[in-house]
Amino acid sequence: MSDAISWVKVSACTLPLANPISDAKVLTGRQKPMTEIALLFVEMKTRDGAEGVGFSYSKRAGGPGQFAHAKEIAPVLIGEDPNDIAKLWDKLCWAGASVGRSGLSVQAIGAFDVALWDMKAKRAGLSLAKLLGTHRDSVRCYNTSGGFLHTPLDQLMVNASASVAQGIGGIKLKVGQPDCDKDIERVSAVRQHLGDRFPIMVDANQQWDRPTAQRMCRRLEPMNLIWIEEPLDAYDHEGHATLAAQFDTPIATGEMLTSVQEHWDLIRHRAADYLMPDGPRVGGITPFLKIAQLAEHAGVMLAPHFAMELHIHLAATYKTEPWVEHFEWLEPLFNERIQIQDGRMLVPTLPGLGVSLSEQARRWTTASFEATA
């Protein structure tokens, strides 16, 4: 008789950030500075004693909604075979289908899906990357957390140097200020500071209109950037495609999309040179792998957004050399640390995701729910 899920715990956790975070969305008045991140954790056990842990997250808003949805759908997993991950993804999706198959509801499913894959890899005695099938044991990584717009220019240089000293392979800078000249000044200064060949990316967080994006891509073209990220609204696939076709500097986008279908629409428009899917946002590992297959078939490069604790494993399985985004923000939630060396992030070798929840994560937990057999 096959094993069966006997216990599922859903937890809401609020992680405070040391400093309020501002990007272009704050400067345009569309959002307030970010002061915390809401995490959704799922822990599960089976009748035979197998265990798995997964997570999803939300920034600025949506955390309570994810937790509420997860509580409603968690009981449908009780008694199910944890190996039937694709079947269980569909079952969770249809349990809440009246609120749609993208957005907040799917992000709640993501935490369950990651926990199921974590459990499957642990049962096999393999890291998640090895279970899925790797192309590499390390992945190029770049740091974003030191390049936000609230950071003064002189501190930007200090942060960049610190990241390089840590072994980070690239630096991403936020752009999209109302005064475009200030963006050019900051990028030019960091380019001069790090040299002509060091990998630098920029991210406008969807805050340019089409004429501004056209002008800024032209002005940034001589700076030898790895990519220009989200120059336009996340759903303006035609606009992104025009920029991707016109300029040598690659265009990156996709992090705000929350389904396989939305990513396919972006891919078929040829709107991204670098696709940036976010595993928790698209509903976990199961849909992420579908997106990666579509991207590989289209010859698109891959750079997953945020959540390096998960994405290091998924990026390691991609055929073309990818990038992983280094964010230290989530580190207090886990007992383990990902290693950085010579510009690359080393793929963890422990079974599953290779992470366990810390006591700090328990202390930051604000609510929980358990479903049992």
136 lies in the same domain as 116 = no
CA distance 219 to 367: 48
150 lies in the same domain as 97 = no
Q: Which of 69, 174, 313, 326 is catalytic?
A: 174
Hey, which of 19-28, 50-59, 97-106 has the most confident mean pLDDT? 50-59
Residue 58 in any domain: the answer is yes
Q: Which of 130, 305, 313, 326 is catalytic?
A: 305
Which residues are annotated as part of the binding site?
23-25, 59-60, 172, 203, 205, 229, 255, 325
Whole domain around residue 18: which residue ranges? 5-125+358-372
176 lies in the same domain as 325 = yes
* Percent of the chain scoring above 70 in pLDDT: 100
Q: Report the pLDDT value the prediction gives residue 1, as an integer from 0 to 100.
A: 60
170 lies in the same domain as 30 = no
- Tell me whether residue 174 is one of the annotated catalytic residues: yes
State the CATH number of the domain containing residue 266. Answer: 3.20.20.120
12: Cβ contacts below 8 Å, ≥ 6 apart:
38, 39, 40, 63, 64, 66, 67, 365, 366, 367, 368
> How many residues are present in the chain?
373
Number of compact structural domains in the chain:
2
Quick one: pLDDT band at residue 233, thresholds 50, 70, 90?
Answer: very high
117 lies in the same domain as 54 = yes
100 lies in the same domain as 244 = no
Residue 351 in any domain: the answer is no
363 lies in the same domain as 291 = no
Which residues are annotated as part of the binding site for substrate?
23-25, 59-60, 172, 205, 325
156: Cβ contacts below 8 Å, ≥ 6 apart:
146, 147, 173, 186, 189, 190
268 lies in the same domain as 155 = yes
Quick one: pLDDT band at residue 27, thresholds 50, 70, 90?
Answer: confident
Burial of 275 (0-12, 13-18, 19+ CB in 10 A): buried
219 lies in the same domain as 297 = yes
Instruction: Provide the pairing of β-strand 170-174 with 344-346.
Output: unpaired
Mean pLDDT score, 215-224: 97
Q: Report the pLDDT value the prediction gives residue 23, as an integer from 0 to 100.
A: 81
Residues 327/306, Cβ–Cβ less than 8 Å = yes
HSE-up (13 A, CA, CB side) for residue 144:
23
pLDDT at 22 over 80: no
Residues 119/44, Cβ–Cβ less than 8 Å = yes
Q: What is the pLDDT of residues 100-111, one digit of tens each?
A: 788 888 999 999
Which residues are annotated as part of the binding site for Mg(2+)?
203, 229, 255
Residue 353 in any domain: the answer is no
320 lies in the same domain as 174 = yes
104 lies in the same domain as 164 = no
* Global confidence as pTM: 0.95
40 lies in the same domain as 111 = yes
Q: Report the pLDDT value the prediction gives residue 149, as an integer from 0 to 100.
A: 85
